[in-house]
Homo-oligomer: A and B are copies of this chain.
Amino acid sequence: MIIHLKPNVSVDRASQLAKENKAFHVTNGDTQILVTGSGIKEVPQSLVEHTDQYWVFPNDMQLSSRKYQNEKREVSIGNVKIGGTNNNTIVIAGPCSVESEEQIRMSSQLLIKNGLTTLRGGCYKPRTSPYSFQGMGLDGLKLLAKMREEFGLTVITEARDATHIDEIIEYTDVIQVGAKAMYDQGILRACSKIKKPVLIKRGFGTTLQEFVQSAEFVLSGGNENVILCERGLRTFETGTRFTLDLCGVAWLQEHTNLPIILDPSHAMGYAYGVPALSKACTAMGIDGLLIEVHPDPSVAKSDASQQLDHAQFEKLLAELKPVANSVGYNII
């Protein structure tokens, strides 16, 4: 249940009422809001007099639900506003992993050349083997920060586990919760205490309901800037790396109020399919794309097969614009 308290209830009083009712307390503008589990179907007796408005829900998709707030939330990624009524499809691009200053600078220059604003690059790689390249760690974060400084780019990178979440929060503009970390409450709770945008990737074995509930961890802790990112399910099909779930995207668009960014690169796993998939995603009227691009994919230290080279990327970008326009959106 979500309860909007009456305007005369102070922040402190709201906080106290939350504690007494084992509820979460969040503030939206001047509105004090309590959120309980969805099992609560009637306003608790002690809250009746303080309640301005309330919503009951069939399950724990509450703050993220269109039943609560029908308008899509707006989130700012640097100077770019997505969601809301902006009809922007932001293209976030960069290499799978930050590998060197030279490499990440080339990626930054590619973005600038094409009028893009937001650079991705992994520093803590969630590799499944201890014997693979694990990412540059803090050194990588510092390179991303340097690119921000040098080019005025917004940077996004992934938290692999809770041990380095503080560094990620310090060095980057948008925090990415990786697919393998989607259930990581250490990360989610840390992200709920800040105001920087959080992009949560759907786990490849995760239901839509669970995916949205991960967003509820962040929203109920007080951070409204949550973006959902679908990046493919693990299915029996092995001809492609994962199976991008666009039926799920239609479901998210219908049921949730959160902006949605799609990652065709990880879903497909092969560069040849990224352009067609990117167009498919764009035609759904989505808020952004995450695309992996590398100065020379053949020598990439991770995910070599799925990264576009710069020429392929620029060709794709040109092709995406009319597709976005055909559904009333702009590539930005």
Contacts and interface: CB of A to CB of B under 8 A. Distances in A.
A259 interface: no
A305 interface: no
A314 interface: no
Nearest to A242: B247
Interface stretch (A77-85, A93-101, A207-215): A207-215
Interface stretch (A12-20, A45-53, A290-298, A317-325): A317-325
Given A240-B251, A247-B273, A162 B186 contact: yes
Interface in A200-251: 203-210, 213-214, 216-217, 220-221, 232-251
A284 B276 CA distance: 5
Contacts of A62: 131
Nearest to A269: B247
A60 to B, nearest CB: 4
**Interface size class, chain A:** 35 or more
Given A37-B131, A60-B129, A185-B161, A235 B246 contact: no
B236 A205 contact: yes
B276 A60 contact: no
Contacts of A162: 161-163, 186
Interface of A: 24, 35-39, 60, 62, 126, 128-132, 160-163, 180-181, 183-187, 203-210, 213-214, 216-217, 220-221, 232-251, 253-254, 267-268, 270, 272-273, 276-277, 279-285, 319, 322-323, 325-327
- 6 A-B pairs closest in CB distance: A205-B205, A250-B273, A161-B186, A37-B131, A283-B283, A240-B247
27 contacts: A37-B131, A60-B132, A129-B213, A130-B220, A130-B221, A131-B216, A131-B220, A161-B187, A180-B183, A205-B205, A207-B237, A208-B239, A235-B243, A237-B245, A240-B250, A240-B251, A243-B247, A246-B246, A247-B267, A247-B268, A247-B273, A249-B276, A253-B276, A254-B273, A280-B280, A283-B323, A322-B327
